[in-house]
Chain A
């Protein structure tokens, strides 16, 4: 089987539901969504107006699912959507959108454009118009288990390294543990300290946890390319492992879309509720802090700020926990001007960072983050998403900005009160 225009359009038909119909019916072309989208504000290109990115889906809705639309189509007053148009729109819907959700928060008539982008990608992907870079990442996710091609042996090597560095054991496949921790390829390859941080925190807090060799990858490329069946495969892998191990809770790592995929889309993808809860690592860290199971010593003296990863904050509701944690371990924490659910996207999420075609546009869109940082006097940006971290690092280098980026989980681990650590 291969991609085809018909399969793509069928996927769009399947995806169009009452919310989407209400959104298209309500849009008054006010253009406010453009003012909320970093891809528009940093380029001035009106085609990047969020609602425009789903225009072909609107035409399909109107021409097929409304009486007036069907009549105008019958009379030849409107043209049906073509494959060429879907190909053209790929550059808008994939390259120029990270599914950050700002447009959905801003629209005066309440349109959830992010939701529509997500559904429109279902059609674009099966029509064969997903960007090549994203297709490759998805293929690797399904066939190899990781979008970056990280195999189990790579993970094992990193586990060994972190065990050596921390002097702690990292449990594997422990049946009956309370928590199953997941990782993202980006962390395994670029930020393996995350794993060590987990070990240190859970050791002090006395948390019973484990990794699983059957399911360690949380990054869900299926969500990013927008193909539900493939996304479901990734989730199912995790669900099977978690339920086999009988854990109470699965911890989503410092990766934005992983959290969105597992916590909010997952049950709908596999068609049933989980037998476990899902939390983001920040939620767990905050809970441990609140329960007094981890205590802190010393504060980071650097002037720093926090970047809210879109899928975790605005689209995931984890906004206060990082701030409470930073409140304990940072001395000079400055909020960005737009903060919390209003913070700006880094521009790399939603498949953009896997999309080589979109490299230039991604760097251009980062100027909004540059502006936010220029307003402050900070040396450091703290965040909780590995993809944001790599996007920041690459862009900061491109713009020659002397700012460093660190992960919050690691920072928390670095400030644990060492006297509290129980050595086995």
Chain B
């Protein structure tokens, strides 16, 4: 029997056992597991069968796939990615058209109940879901059909996890997250616009190792990557604490690397690993480059007002309502003025001349 285990696969690609163990150690630490677990990870990966993965792309920009595949040198991510059996992916698979759809159905049958379903892009539901179709099938139908036999669903990117950009006001296509459609399967959200590559592969690695979903927070995000906010781990935090803020891009504060809160940074309200893991193999992340975080891994991030206004400032507008209220106050005041004057006048009219007798009942 062909050994389709991960270890065999890696060996076939020239990865030595030593290299494999290094990879396991790295995976262990990446998943925030104690180092003693390395042996267990190695054992599990050595014997694990390469799982079938179906990747569905709905209303998306392909940025999530790009993020994952743009690693420009062999890396852990690359390895993980290669360790799975990617049986269906619009951009990456060789087949197309009917052949591609056949491949999807074959995988669904052969590995029924055991394949991983990865989804990127939101699902439009308005007008019967006609705003995004593949092979004549709406995203909605395809999702329901494919989710039925999946072991677990991983939502890649904010669109699949929370609706993302298509869901932003006014949401013309009725875009919804995957979790709004699929209610009966384990779901892992890996949000980000796009997500950090290692967040994706870390979840897959966990599943490969343990066959279970990793520890998730209340938004079904793996706490290993989304447990802290950018603000909690930001290297510019001391400047926030001291009240030193950049006032505009490229001003003195900006050049000194001060906090970008006033320029709209969503760090405090955004859960992601950008401040620690960073991007492009740890090169940098938006704040380090001098631009505030836009909160792309959070729901409704596109609808939180201007990215260049702090998250705590009012969006207003105040003038119209305040003017109307002032007018209303003047009207109510005017009514009270008339009423008050009338009451006093009435009291004066009712006044009788007073003599000492009037002091007693």
A-side residues, CB < 8 A to B, are 1-4, 6-7, 10-11, 13-14, 16, 64-67, 125-126, 128, 130, 135, 138-139, 142-143, 225, 227, 229-230
Contact = CB atoms under 8 A, between A and B. Distances in A.
A229 B353 CA distance: 7
B65 to A, nearest CB: 61
Given A14-B347, A138-B356, 11 more contacts: A1-B358, A7-B350, A10-B350, A13-B347, A16-B344, A125-B359, A128-B361, A135-B359, A138-B359, A143-B356, A230-B354
Contact of B359 (A64, A65, A67, A130): A130
Interface residues of B, number: 21
Contacts of A3: 358-361
Nearest to B356: A139
A362 to B, nearest CB: 21
A126 B336 contact: no
Interface string B59-74: 0000000000000000
B340 A65 contact: yes
Interface of B: 332, 335-336, 340, 343-344, 346-348, 350-361
A227 B351 CA distance: 12
Contacts, number: 66
Majority secondary structure of chain B interface residues (helix, strand, loop or mixed): helix
The 10 closest A-B pairs by CB, nearest first: A229-B354, A139-B356, A128-B361, A13-B347, A10-B347, A14-B347, A135-B359, A3-B361, A65-B340, A142-B356
A388 B22 CA distance: 101
Contacts of A6: 350
B251 to A, nearest CB: 44
Contacts of A66: 336
B336 A225 contact: no
25 contacts: A2-B360, A3-B358, A3-B360, A4-B361, A6-B350, A10-B350, A10-B351, A11-B347, A11-B351, A13-B347, A14-B347, A64-B343, A65-B340, A67-B332, A67-B336, A125-B359, A126-B358, A126-B359, A128-B361, A138-B356, A139-B356, A227-B359, A229-B353, A229-B354, A230-B355
A13 B352 contact: no
A143 B340 CA distance: 36
A126 B360 CA distance: 8
A65 B342 CA distance: 11
Nearest to B337: A65
A120 to B, nearest CB: 15
Contacts of A139: 356, 359
A1 B347 contact: no
B351 A225 contact: no
A7 B348 contact: no
Contacts of B358: 1-3, 7, 126
Contacts of A142: 355-356
Contacts of B346: 10, 13
B345 to A, nearest CB: 9
Nearest to A135: B359
A105 B114 CA distance: 85
Q: Which of B348, B354, B355, B361 has the most CB of A within 10 A?
A: B354
Contacts of B353: 229
A4 B360 CA distance: 8
Contact of A65 (B336, B360, B361): B336
